[in-house]
Amino acid sequence: MGGAFARFSLALVGFVWAQCACGPRCWPVASPSIWPVRVYSYQLGSSQSFGQDPQYFPYNVLGEICTSATPTNPCADPCQVVSLGKGGFIALEFDPPIADGPGPDFTVFENPFRYGSGQVFDEWMIVSVSQDGINWVVFPFDSITGQGLAGRTPTGCMGCSGPINWQDPSQSGGDAFDLSVVGLAWAKYVRVTDATSWQPPDRLSADLDGIVAIHQLSSNSLAYQIGPTGVTIRSLVQPLFEAWNLLGQPISAEVREIGEGTWIIRPFGPAVVRIYTPTGMQQVKGFFAPMD
Ligand SMILES: [Ca+2]
Ligand SMILES: [Ca+2]
């Protein structure tokens, strides 16, 4: 049986490597991370297919930004950027979620570049955020000037040396966004949507390099109590949650306010529950009796 398992494992590893041509980027980013942990949803347009092959995507949008990029020399590595295609979109998931801290909270990197006398070749993207992956809030923008869109600011900074702190927009470049602009305390998902149809016809589509979180909810920071029928938690607003059985399969659960600012989340049976409130997130495991 051990031999069979080993053969299966080797076959699996071979399959993963055959599918991915991007070296260390082929392994998923583990949470907690400042980088997105997975592609939540996507739909790529047809005008341009750079980096869309399964050996490159989604590896090219997860993990660190293209380190060879400078403001005058954009990244053109299919292991690092993917073309969205006209009207295409990609939504990325962050764990822990991005939080609204002082100033910008996340930065989106396309591969625009400087040329001539101060001009920038840019390709625009609309940026939206969501807490539950269902309801999205769009950052305000001007489709004439491009203000408020991503894909406008080159990666890196002029005359910089040494490794870039990707969480400092003054040296990382890219387009930084502040959750307070759209009135959200936190967001688990960021979606970028190609908006080059508003630009000159030589723009085929925007290319996503990656997104970095600057502020995030702290893990394991909530006041909670595990009881026989559920998890009790203090929160001024109804907490969001996800629940899985011990095989990692999503299961249903209910959330109910049992006193002012006190909520109970009730799954059934052995469960892992991850809870999000405006002030933090918490993951707990417990065995919960049937609801009465
Ligand atoms: Ca902020
Ligand atoms: Ca990238």
Ligand nearest to the CA of 64: 2
Distance from the alpha carbon of residue 209 to the mean position of ligand 1, in angstroms: 22
What is the arrangement of strands in the sheet containing 175-177, beginning at the earlier edge strand?
Answer: 175-177, 106-109, 210-213
Q: Strands 224-226 and 231-234, how do they pair?
A: antiparallel
Q: Which tokens is 261 given?
A: 């600012």
Distance from the alpha carbon of residue 79 to the mean position of ligand 2, in angstroms: 7
Q: Phi first, then psi: give them for residue 252, nearest 5 degrees.
A: -85, 160
Q: Which residues have C-beta under 5 Å from ligand 2, the single-atom ion?
A: 60, 80, 209-210
> What pLDDT was estimated at residue 158?
80
First to last CA, the chain: 44
Angle, vertex CA 20, rays to CA 14 and CA 21, nearest 5: 110
> What pLDDT was estimated at residue 225?
84
Distance from the alpha carbon of residue 126 to the mean position of ligand 1, in angstroms: 18
Each residue's pLDDT tens digit, 260-286: 888 999 998 889 899 988 777 888 888
> What pLDDT was estimated at residue 46?
86
> What pLDDT was estimated at residue 9?
47
Q: pTM (2 decimals)?
A: 0.77
CA distance 72 to 209: 16
Q: Which helix (H) or strand (E) holds 126?
A: strand 125-130
Nearest to 97 by CA among 173, 165, 37, 137: 37
Q: Which tokens is 288 given?
A: 């919960």
> What pLDDT was estimated at residue 152?
97
Distance from the alpha carbon of residue 215 to the mean position of ligand 1, in angstroms: 8
DSSP letter at 72 equals T
> What pLDDT was estimated at residue 256?
93
CA distance 276 to 108: 24
Distance from the alpha carbon of residue 95 to the mean position of ligand 2, in angstroms: 18
Distance from the alpha carbon of residue 75 to the mean position of ligand 2, in angstroms: 9
* Omega cis (within 30) before 32: yes
Ligand nearest to the CA of 105: 1
Distance from the alpha carbon of residue 105 to the mean position of ligand 1, in angstroms: 5
Distance from the alpha carbon of residue 211 to the mean position of ligand 2, in angstroms: 8
In the chain the domains, ranked by start, together with CATH numbers, are 21-213 (2.60.120), 224-288 (2.60.40.10)
> What pLDDT was estimated at residue 221?
61
Distance from the alpha carbon of residue 232 to the mean position of ligand 1, in angstroms: 29
Block means of pLDDT (10 residues each) for the chain, 292 residues, are 46 56 86 91 93 95 90 93 97 92 97 93 97 93 98 90 90 96 93 97 95 86 81 87 90 90 89 85 84 60
Residue with tokens 């910008």, as numbered in its chain? 104
Distance from the alpha carbon of residue 36 to the mean position of ligand 2, in angstroms: 11
